[in-house]
Amino acid sequence: MCGRLTQYRGTHDFVATLSMPNPMVNTTGDLPFECYNVAPTTQVALLHMDGETLRADRVRWGWRPFWAKDRAAPINARVEKVANGPFFRNAWPNRAIAPVDGWFEWVDEGGPKKQPYLIRRRDGAPILCAAIGQFPREEPRDDDGFVIITADSEGGMVDVHDRRPVVLSPELAREWLDSATPKERAEQMALFQGEPTEVFEWFKVSAAVGNTRNQGVELIEPLYAEE
């Protein structure tokens, strides 16, 4: 987890969920994104702070430090190691929220191919994923990028995948974004205060999501009605 996202709402919908009074710079546009099948290395709308200003920018999903050019840029970071490991040391202070509508996982159910599932919030609200990375301030840079922080799955979701994003409530997401929040406090939030499994639902979707060229609302519809 997680290797594919949906981000079909627009920045204003995501920011409204955060309820932040800060001034804002939005370089992502005002229209819904309508991205139903977002793959790694894609430019994803990301929320982060620049001083007291909230920024919404399109940032590459994937990041690595400058000295790690000999390896692929990871798209996720394990919460158990991210705060103290050397790989993400420079990115850890740069906190962001990746606001998404859902994410996909593939499950081996004994068939010829793995079955894709969509995971989303039961209440239909945006999902506020804790993220870190390197972000644009004025002009985008080639080494900008971000990773989503992941934790062990709990409860029933382990049947879909053993890892999932650290999802924060709007209140905690505001604290996560606040540069005044100590790094130690941010680590505790990521480790222990992510949204519980009960907040989410998941269901089978079409195998067409496996092809990143496929886009459309049909990719997020249940494969069949639940009995």
Out of 2, 34, 175, 184, the active site residue is 2
Beta strands in the chain (DSSP E): 5-7, 24-26, 35-38, 43-50, 53-60, 76-78, 95-100, 102-107, 115-121, 127-134, 145-152, 163-165, 200-204
Contact 204, 180 (CB under 8 A): no
Q: For residue 157, what pLDDT band results from cuts at 50, 70 and 90? A: low
Contact 99, 136 (CB under 8 A): no
- The tens digit of pLDDT for each residue in 180-211 reads 999 999 999 999 999 998 999 999 999 999 99
pLDDT of residue 3: 83
Contact 150, 78 (CB under 8 A): yes
pLDDT of residue 224: 74
Mean pLDDT on 2-13: 93
Out of 35, 105, 129, 138, the active site residue is 105
Torsion of CA 66, 69, 70, 75, to 10 degrees: 90
- Quick one: which of 54, 56, 44 has its CA closest to 7? 44
Task: Assess whether 129 carries a catalytic annotation.
Answer: no
The token duo for 14 is: 């995501």
Instruction: Give the homologous superfamily in CATH for domain 5-220.
Output: SOS response associated peptidase-like (3.90.1680.10)
pLDDT of residue 167: 96
pLDDT above 90: percentage of residues in the chain = 80
Which H or E run includes 15?
Answer: helix 11-18
Task: Assess whether 34 carries a catalytic annotation.
Answer: no
